[in-house]
Amino acid sequence: MEILTTIFIQPFFDMAADPILFLQVIWEGFVTGILYSLIALGFVLIFKASGVFNFAQGIMVVFAALTLVGLHENGIPAYIALPITILVMYALAFSVERLVLRPLVNQPDIILFMATIGVTFFLIGFGEFIFGGEPKMMITEELLLPYGSITFFDDMLILQEIDIAASGIAALALIFLALFLGKTKIGIALRAVADDNQAALSVGVSLNTIWVLVWFISGIIALITGIMWGAKSDVSFALSIIAFKALPVLILGGFTSVQGAIVGGLIIGIGEKIGEFYWGDLVGGSIESWLAYMIALVFLLFRPQGLFGEKIIERV
Binder of other proteins out of 44, 173, 200, 221 (CB under 8 A): 200
Q: Which residues contact 58 (CB under 8 A, 6 or more apart)?
A: 39, 120, 239, 240, 241, 242, 243, 244
Instruction: Single out the segment in contact with other proteins by CB under 8 A; choices: 1-9, 105-113, 174-182, 296-304.
Output: 174-182
Binder of other proteins out of 150, 179, 238, 241 (CB under 8 A): 179
Rule CB under 8 A: say whether 281 interacts with other proteins. no
Tell how far CA 131 is from the center of its chain: 23
Cα distances from 162 to residues 141, 153, 262, in angstroms, run 10, 20, 20
Rule CB under 8 A: say whether 109 interacts with other proteins. no
Q: Which residues contact 18 (CB under 8 A, 6 or more apart)?
A: none
Nearer to other proteins (CB atom), residue 151 or residue 206: 206
Which 8-state DSSP code applies to residue 296?
H
Rule CB under 8 A: say whether 285 interacts with other proteins. no
Backbone φ and ψ of 172, nearest 5°: -60, -45
Site for other proteins in 143-172 (CB under 8 A): none
Rule CB under 8 A: say whether 98 interacts with other proteins. no
Q: State how far the Cα of 52 lies from the Cα of 36, in Å rounded to an integer.
A: 19
Nearer to other proteins (CB atom), residue 1 or residue 183: 183
Contact 261, 221 (CB under 8 A): no
Binder of other proteins out of 133, 168, 182, 304 (CB under 8 A): 182
Interacting residues with other proteins (CB under 8 A)? 176, 179-180, 182-186, 188-189, 191-192, 195-196, 198-206, 310, 313, 315
